Every structure is written in structure tokens, then in C-alpha cells.
Amino acid sequence: MIKAVRGTRDLLPPETALWNFVEAAVRDVFRAYNFQEIRTPIFESTELFARGVGEETDVVAKEMYTWEDRGRAESDRGQSLTLRPENTAGVVRAYIEHKMWDRGLNKLYYIGPQFRRERPQKGRYRQFYQIGAEVIGPASAGSESPARDAEVLEMLSTLLDRLGITGWNLELNSVGCANDRAAFNEALRKALEPVVGKMCVDCQRRAVTNPLRVFDCKVPEDQPIIEKLPRISQFLDEGCRKHFEQVQEILTKVGVPFSLNDRLVRGLDYYTRTAFEFTHGALGAQNAILGGGRYDGLSEALGGPAAPGIGFAIGEDRLVMSLQESAPAESVLKKPDVYVAALGEGMNGEAARLVRELRRHDLVVDLGDESFRLKKSFEAATKAGAKYILIVGENEVKADAFALKNLATGEQVSVQRADLAKKIRQ
RNA sequence: GUGGGAAUAGCUCAACUGGUAGAGCACCGGACUGUGGCUCCGACGGUUGCGGGUUCGAUUCCCGUUUCCCACCCCA
């Protein structure tokens, strides 16, 4: 048997109803903030991610699905392509390619699959889905304003509340701009030098490759050492500090709860200033339901003009998972308004005609087959969860009035063809 | 990439220290030829994840492998 490959999965009904519910809510909420959808290709030039996300990041260094595409002619060299491991780089690439600064401030969102070759576990798949949004444009259009950071965070809290997800926690930090981070990294390296020997092996590795990640360490013995390390907050320049303060001010004013976490670091190189994560307790080790932040230098890193931006990505798989506890898929599934039972030879055509009319009235209609015994039709209607069953038999066709039975109450009436849709909708 | 656990019918799970695979639910049919849910009866359903080994005999023990789960790592 051929099976779905490791780390990929099929989403089947009724669970897909939950995914549709989430995506409908997302489109609805984002629209209220005047975000518009962008769709970028699922594969891109490998170079885009190397330069955008960062050559040294785990995502780029060991998790990408990359292959050499054929050249157009024998003499052509192939091109290295990669399935997108995230979508921000693609959006910024499109921003540059289509000179989208001409539109002023861009507020964009996307929903789609991403690919990372990680070891699968709960809430972590090799093909996974992200819902993300990006605010990007020239600084003169307001893209750099703390108002944008706050608006994005407030939108997220609204979305989670709207979905009925309770118990989320917003963790906030500022990782500063490029200069701050350089100074901070330097100080961190210095501070680590004398103490790193006493830390866990992972920290010893991090101290060399990516000192920031030391703050992610969960080993209890290392915590007293980590507590004494310098913090990014001490290295923020005037502008970054002010910016971060204003973000917090607005959030407080609009009533979005958050907690500061100056150990919050992000794994993608492009993040600057505001960085955040929404976590949810019931997700196991993969407790980050969404994450994001500012990326003020990304456009330039990709060869574009200065274009400050802020964005986030929601792990849709994890969002659906945390939703499943409060809202089972069945509860958001639209059940048929009516099940139409064709009864007796020659009734398929009559039933089809009737069903066509009902569906044109926007009713959800399920249709049986004339070979079914009436008992079987009732069973099928009940199993489908239909509100009504409508019988299309010889007697009904002759009278042009049909037996309509409410499956919950058991009440049955004869209804003229012209009145059916109205009666069913009641 | 590392460590641990698991894999038996469509689903949830049984099967004693190795003795030849079973239940509930679901599905299909009947009791009931134009009236469902309840009940009763019946049928269907399995290379015990896959491959090798030990054994008279393996779902059971051993090795390999694949997948899933948990944790590390990393991220969403």
C-alpha cells in the first residue's frame, strides 16, 4: 500500500470543517483590518531563503527541501529550487519584484502550506500550514510605526478570541536593530566565555554558533548562570527603546494582555525590534501557536529598497489542534437541511428536478436513489444529520405535493412544490 | 539529527510463561414490500506494519526496517 509520506497527512472530513471554520474566521477578521490576500509560489529560488532567512539558521542549514532543477537547454545550468519553509521571504520578494512601494503601505495576508524536513512529532509536520500577515512599505507610509506593531498584535488577540481559544499568552520582547544586536552579541560572548564551561553541552554549542539561543535553554542547572547574562533590553538604542515602549503603551490602552519576556529570541535572522510569540498550554512541547516580529532590514538584504515591516505566522495545524478541545469538528459542520428520498422506479428524475430547485434556494440538500427502500432512506437521512426528509414517490408526483417530515420532531406534512423551500427553511 | 515507547478488523482495544486471532462500535443485509433513531438476528471484515532469524509451532522471543507517539533539538 502506498501511504502518505513521513510528516505529511491527509485532512479528512469532518475535520476539514474545522479548517474551513478557522480560515473563514481569519478572512473575516483580517478584512476588518483591511488586509488583502497575497499568493506566492510554493517553490522559490534557494537563494531567496539563504539570503532572507539566513544561511546559518537551522531552517536553511538543515531543514529545506532543495533540488537542482533542469536547465532549459543542455548547455544551461540548472537552478537550485526550494520548497518554501516559510512565507515572509516570498512576500518580500514579491514586494520588491512588483515595486509594491508604489502602493504605499501594504497589508497582506496568506494561507498555505510550508515545508520543513524536521523529525515529525505532535504539532510538527513536514508539510504544515501557516496563516500569516505582513505589513510592509516605505517608512514614509508608516510601516515603521509602533502603531503597526500594536495593530497586528491586537488583530491577533481578536482572532484568537473570535475563534474561542482561551488560555493564550502573548510574550513580547524587543531584539533591537542590527547595531544593538551586534553590540549585544559581543557582550554576550564576553559574558559567556568564563562561565560556558559549567553549562550544558547544548549551551556550549550555542555559545559558539548562536549565543542568543542560550536563552532558550531549559536545563535547571544553567538557569542561575543565564539569569546573570546581559539582556538585549540593556543594549537597545534610544530609537528602539522608545519604539518598544510605544508598542506596549498602545497595547495597554486597547486592553491586550501581554507579558514581557526578555529571553524570547527568534530563530530566523531577519527579525528586528519587536518580537513576539503566542503560546497555548495544551499543545505539548510545540506550545507556540504563532510567532512573528519586525524585519526592518529584510528588503535590503534581498536587494530591495528600505522597507520596514512586521508580520507573523500562525501554525494552522496547532491552531486547529488547540481548537479541537473547545469546538469539535462536528459542531461547525453544516448539516443538510433536507434529505430527498426518491421512492420507486422512475423517481430519480423527478427527485433530481426537485433537488435542483431546492438547491437554487441555497438549501443544503442530500439526494438518495430510487433503488433505496424507504427505511434505508430514513436511515441515510438520519445518519447525514438532515433536518427534514422529503419523499418523492408516485403519489407525491401525481399530486405535486410532497411528504415532508421533520426528523427530530416526527411531524409530517404534505407540502405543495412551490412552498417547499420556504417550509424547509423555517 | 539524538533518546525512549508503540504498531493486532474501518475505529477503540483483548488474546496467560510461545500453541495457530476475539469483543464492542461502525459498515452491509434481514425481522419491517411507503416511515428513521430503540431492539433482535445474520453476514462481512486480518498476509497481527514490513523483511529476516530462533522454534515442531511466533501476535508473543531476537535482529533489521518503516511509520506514529513522547522528549531533545528547532520552530509555527
A58 CA vs B74 C1’ separation (Å):
7
Residue A5 CA distance to nucleotide B22 C1' (Å) = 32
Contact between the CB of A221 and strand B at under 7 Å? no
User: First vs last Cα of chain A: how many Å apart?
Assistant: 48
Please indicate, yes or no, whether residues A109 and A155 belong to a single structural domain of this protein: yes
How many H helices and E strands in chain A? Answer: 16, 16
How are beta strands A365-367 and A259-260 bridged, if at all? unpaired
In a domain, A242, yes or no: yes
The answer as to whether A144 is a domain residue is yes
Query: Which pLDDT does position A155 carry in this prediction?
Result: 98
Has residue A214 been placed in a domain? no
Distance CA A394, CA A374 (A): 13
* pLDDT attached to residue A282: 66
The distance (Å) linking the CA of A1 with the C1' of B57 is: 29
Q: Which domain holds residue A118?
A: 15-177+237-324
Domain boundary among A276, A305, A324: A324
Instruction: Let me know if residue A101 belongs to a domain.
Output: yes
A66 and A150 both lie in a single domain: yes
Residue A319: its H or E element: helix A316-324
Strand B closer than 7 Å to the CB of A220? no
Is there a single domain that holds both residue A80 and residue A167? yes
| Calpha distance A357→A198 (Å, rounded) | 77
Please report, for the domain that includes residue A390, its CATH number: 3.40.50.800
Nucleotide nearest to A288 in CA–C1' terms: B76
Q: Residue A316's domain is classified under what CATH number?
A: 3.30.930.10
Q: What is the residue-level pLDDT of chain A in tens, covering all 426 positions?
A: 788 889 999 998 888 999 999 999 999 999 999 999 999 999 999 999 999 999 888 899 989 999 999 877 777 778 999 999 999 999 999 999 999 999 999 999 999 999 999 999 888 999 999 999 999 999 999 999 999 999 999 999 999 999 998 889 999 999 998 888 888 888 888 888 888 888 887 788 778 777 877 887 777 778 888 888 898 889 999 999 999 999 999 999 999 999 999 888 777 778 899 999 999 876 767 788 999 999 999 999 999 999 999 999 999 999 998 888 777 777 888 899 999 999 998 999 999 999 999 999 999 999 999 989 999 999 999 999 999 999 999 999 999 999 999 999 999 999 999 999 999 998
CB of A289 within 7 Å of some strand B atom: yes
**Closest nt to residue A386, judged CA to C1':** B36
Nucleic chain B contacts, protein chain A, residues 2-21, CB cut-off 7 A: 3, 5-9
Distance (Å, rounded) from C-alpha A66 to C-alpha A89?
16
Give SS3 for A114: strand
A327 — phi, psi (to 5°)?
-130, 95
Please tell me whether any atom of strand B lies within 7 Å of the Cβ of A284: yes
Which nucleotide's C1' atom has the smallest distance to the CA of A405? B35
Q: Considering the domain boundaries, does residue A183 fall inside one?
A: no
The three three-digit cell numbers of residue A27, written as one number? 478572512
Are A244 and A304 members of one domain?
yes
**Overall domain count for chain A:** 2
Whether residues A241 and A389 fall in one domain = no
Of A303, A324, A345, which marks where a domain is finished?
Answer: A324
The answer to whether position A219 is within a domain reads no
Residues 155-184 of A with CB under 7 A from strand B: none
Chain B: positions less than 7 Å from a protein CB are: 1-2, 27-30, 32-37, 66-76
Residue A105 sits in the same domain as residue A169: yes
Domain match, A28 and A154 both? yes
A347 and A298 share one domain? no
Q: Does residue A313 sit in the same domain as residue A343?
A: no
Q: Which of A274, A295, A324 is the last residue of a domain?
A: A324
Q: Is residue A202 part of a domain?
A: no
Query: Is residue A158 domain-shared with residue A246, that is, in the same domain?
Result: yes
Does A320 lie in the same domain as A342? no
- Among all protein residues, pick the one whose CA is nearest to the C1' atom of B34: A374
Residues 60-99 of A with CB under 7 A from strand B: 63, 86
Indicate whether this complex's ipTM tops 0.85: yes
Phi, psi (degrees; rounded to nearest 5) at A317? -60, -45
Based on the fold, state whether residues A300 and A343 are members of the same structural domain. Answer: no
A359 within some domain: yes
Which ranges of A164-229 does DSSP label H, i.e. alpha helix? 178-192, 201-209, 223-227
Residues 333-392 of chain A with CB under 7 A from strand B are 343-344, 373-376, 378-379, 381-383, 391
Nucleic strand B within 7 A of Cβ A287: yes
